[in-house]
Copies of this chain bind each other. A is one copy, B any other.
């Protein structure tokens, strides 16, 4: 079984950047970076000290793995323009099926790191779950080996399960962050320092590392403290968008108790 050492990154966004850095630190060769945007391609290639292209027809041949980290809606265009023959292609999407590669590539699979990436904040890959699947048990082994080199938390997970994880991640990440941003706007409007809430945000996330969230729920809606909730709703009367959210989430929390 040929091990993966030479990798081409197709995409230069947050996921590609974080993966590229992690792979390079683990001793792999990033032999080329592709991005539609020449500025992005150039920037990441420079960071990884490698070459770049903005033309899918100029991808280097013979790399052991081609990682497609592009937005879901760009995937089709990219796939149509790659000469996939003889190549091992994977994507990093939470929601796209592995089957998009069928008929297009010799080897294919998925390499999905379950994390939120930004270019601003470097994440520690070691604890990040990486979900892999592939078209053959040999390719699963190759991806597992690759994933193990950057993470201690590698799982073989099929497309259907991965889609469920991706949905759950919306509730674990995107929606909590939106709640934070409302807390931000509430403090801002009262000329209070959002920093005051940061330890609370950390502790809330830390607590569920040890206690099930369903057992860690607190707050007026959970206690059924209608007096406080009424006060809160009064305070939000000039912010109907936030009020609507407060009411619905509070209703769901009290329902969840029964």
Contacts and interface: CB of A to CB of B under 8 A. Distances in A.
A2 interface: no
Nearest to A198: B209
Contacts of A57: none
Interface in A60-99: 71-73, 95
26 contacts: A71-B223, A73-B225, A118-B211, A120-B210, A121-B206, A128-B199, A157-B192, A163-B231, A163-B235, A164-B235, A167-B232, A168-B192, A168-B197, A169-B200, A172-B200, A173-B200, A173-B203, A174-B219, A174-B220, A177-B207, A177-B217, A178-B249, A183-B213, A184-B213, A198-B208, A204-B205
A19 to B, nearest CB: 15
Nearest to A174: B219
Contacts of A219: 170, 173-175, 177
A193 to B, nearest CB: 8
Q: How many copies does the complex hold?
A: 2
B218 A173 contact: yes
A256 interface: yes
A140 interface: no
Contacts of A71: 223, 225
Interface stretch (A24-32, A42-50, A240-248): A240-248
A205 to B, nearest CB: 4
A23 interface: no
Contacts of A165: 187, 192, 196-197
Residue of A71, A166, A196, A220 with most chain B CB atoms under a 10 A cut-off: A196
Given A72-B225, A176-B176, A116 B218 contact: yes
A185 interface: yes
A6 B55 CA distance: 74
Interface in A92-128: 95, 114-116, 118, 120-121, 123, 127-128
Contacts of A164: 186-187, 190, 192, 235
Nearest to A191: B161
